[in-house]
Structure 1
Amino acid sequence: MKNEMNCTVIIKSLYPAMHEGEKRIADFILKQSENIINMTVAQISREIGVADSSIVRFCKKLGFNGFTQLKINLAKNIQKSEESILQDINKKDSPYIIASKVFDSSIKALKDSSDMLDERELDKAVNALISAKRIEFYGVGTSATIAMDAYYRFMRIGLPAYAAIDSHISKVSANMLDKDCVAVGISHTGRTKETINTLKIAKDKGAKVICCTSFLDSPITDIADIKLITSTVETKFMKEAVVSRIAQIVLLDSLYTCIVAKKYNMASKNLDNMGEILNNMRL
């Protein structure tokens, strides 16, 4: 991940896996970002009732050397209240205001997801997909449409890509993989049982496992060899199935584009052929 990534983005990504004490620290940071810049560890520990050492450990869990580095990051990335584009939707909002807030949330999720990208993980994912004998995309529920979209894109450029979105078929598919294959599991929460169980089967067969999720510390990341993390913005009316899909589609589209750039001759030839076929299907 990038060194200058907003610490609040990291906190939100790790939040579901935090224990109670860590969540108290996280909640305080998220709600009091501007005030924390001028506070000491001792002041915060008294305010929320945790030990000074707990706050220091929390900072290190986020990837910072200590509290001072976290405060510097906050100061650089803080959004002033009058500049904030992210607002929850109110049932009294007009259709135009609602649409504007949905667009704003999506834009923020894409920006945060760009910041979450780990260059090494992205490189590993591109190389694994290019050299794979077979690529299987797995996802259920709202993630199924993303898996199908990825399959369609990768298949169009000549890669041996497939998608299995039925929980029974997915397990049979995963059981057919081997060390030369890649299994890509898509799950916003990283806790979808069907997808996780499918990836476990694929890994047991020797396949390389890539996950696409919104949370750094989740069951799916424990299984994955390569972790692709996006960010999402959840509000009262816009839960996991909305903004997260956009970020994941863009991430997979980025992988697709990286592969097109690396395998340009093969990809361009296949895209030209596909373009001709599609044109013949249109009025």
Structure 2
Amino acid sequence: MEKNPLLVIESMYGGFHRVEKKIADCILSNSSLIIKNNVKMISSHVNVSESSIIRFCQLLGYRGFSDFKVALAHHSKKLDDEFFQIESLDSAEAITKATLLNNMNALKNTLDFINYDELEKAAKLIAQSKKVFIAGSGNSGFMVKMFYSRILTTGLNLVYATDSYAMKQMQFLLDEETVIIGISQSGKTAELIELFETASQKSVPTIALTASTNNKLTSLANIQLVTALSNSNYIRNYYASEVVVKSILDSLATYINILLDIESIDQLNTIAQDIFLEAMAVMKNK
């Protein structure tokens, strides 16, 4: 299925330069204007050159403006139509409904946007790897720990890092048996980018989970898991992003367990018991 061009623009927005942002803002705020007019009129309205608009459409993956218009007409519903503005609500019921609906819409958009082939590649790569490094800081650090706990009972050799010092240490432990999973909504986390750059130099495969396709981290990653979240409303997406990222990681963890034939509660309990006994043995030897 062809991706919604509005979601594509949202996911790339953070990496646009000034002219590209002007064009993107026009499209996101008034998609019907784009659908109903030619490139010359849009050029005059946005006050940019026609060639800039055509290049922008090509940047999104379309042959040109006409090709983009066809896709936009097919997905003409504005992204924010289904959102309540939390700032304008004043009751517990209204705020709760708005929050839940916003989260549901973020999940729905990601359902249409996520690349399932990339998710399958990520699961298979993790399941086959000897060592799995999981890294992310700030709010993403909580997701790192959650994913670590989800796949801990698989028996995979797991290491996680949620601060710059731990990510620096990871750089020295990279080898051909390692895979790295980096979690960063913006894709601009400096220490994570540095880790991915080192991994690239050592030919270590990397998986990036972000909310943007147009950033340094995704450009370095071998596998890109990109969610569909707008950059236009920080308050709304601050909470929705956690719901979406957690859901993607839950899906990934479930698939990894299936690939490793860990499908029953009994199997999970047995592996958990083995991990506990091994930890106890290590403690006794200290």
Runs of 4+ in 1 over 6 A off after TM superposition: none
- What SS does the corresponding residue of 1:184 show, helix, strand or coil? strand
Q: Given the superposition, is the C-alpha separation of residues 130 and 213 from structure 1 closer, same or farther in structure 2, using an over 3 Å criterion?
A: same
Matched, 1:257 2:248: no
- Shifted more, 268-277 versus 11-20: the winner is 268-277
Task: Decide which of 174, 178, 181 is 1:177's aligned counterpart.
Answer: 174
Contact 1:121–1:226 at 8 Å: present in 2 too? yes
Contact 2:132–2:179 at 8 Å: present in 1 too? yes
Task: Specify every segment of 5 or more residues in structure 1 that has no aligned partner in the other structure, as ranges.
Answer: 278-283
Instruction: Measure, in 2, the Cα distance between the counterparts of 1:238 and 1:145.
Output: 19
Instruction: Measure, in 2, the Cα distance between the counterparts of 1:234 and 1:104.
Output: 18
Q: How many residues align?
A: 273
- What SS does the corresponding residue of 2:86 show, helix, strand or coil? coil
Instruction: Measure, in 2, the Cα distance between the counterparts of 1:105 and 1:18.
Output: 25
Instruction: Measure, in 1, the Cα distance between the counterparts of 2:73 and 2:134.
Output: 40
Normalized against structure 1, the TM-score is what?
0.88
Matches within 5 A, 1:20-169: 20-79=18-77, 84-169=81-166
How far is 1:87 from its partner? Answer: 2.8
Matched, 1:204 2:181: no
* 1:104-148: CA deviation from partner (whole Å, max 9, x where unpaired): 221121122222222332232122111111101101110001000
Q: Given the superposition, is the C-alpha separation of residues 203 and 267 from structure 1 closer, same or farther in structure 2, using an over 3 Å criterion?
A: farther
Contact 2:86–2:95 at 8 Å: present in 1 too? yes
Instruction: Measure, in 1, the Cα distance between the counterparts of 2:205 and 2:60.
Output: 27
Task: Specify every segment of 5 or more residues in structure 2 that has no aligned partner in the other structure, as ranges.
Answer: 275-286
Contact 1:175–1:202 at 8 Å: present in 2 too? no
Counterpart of 1:243?
240
Amino acid at match of 2:54: V
Which is richer in helix?
A: 2
How far is 1:27 from its partner? Answer: 0.7
How far is 1:204 from its partner? Answer: 3.3
Q: Give the number of the structure with larger relative contact order, counting CA–CA contacts within 8 Å between residues 6 or more apart.
A: 2
Counterpart of 1:11?
9
Counterpart of 2:222?
225
Instruction: Measure, in 2, the Cα distance between the counterparts of 1:80 and 1:136.
Output: 38
Q: Given the superposition, is the C-alpha separation of residues 146 and 137 from structure 1 closer, same or farther in structure 2, using an over 3 Å criterion?
A: same
Q: Given the superposition, is the C-alpha separation of residues 80 and 60 from structure 1 closer, same or farther in structure 2, using an over 3 Å criterion?
A: closer
How far is 1:39 from its partner? Answer: 0.8
CA RMSD of aligned residues (A): 2.3
Counterpart of 2:283?
none
The sequence identity of aligned pairs, in percent, is: 31
Contact 1:188–1:240 at 8 Å: present in 2 too? no
Normalized against structure 2, the TM-score is what?
0.87
Counterpart of 1:186?
183
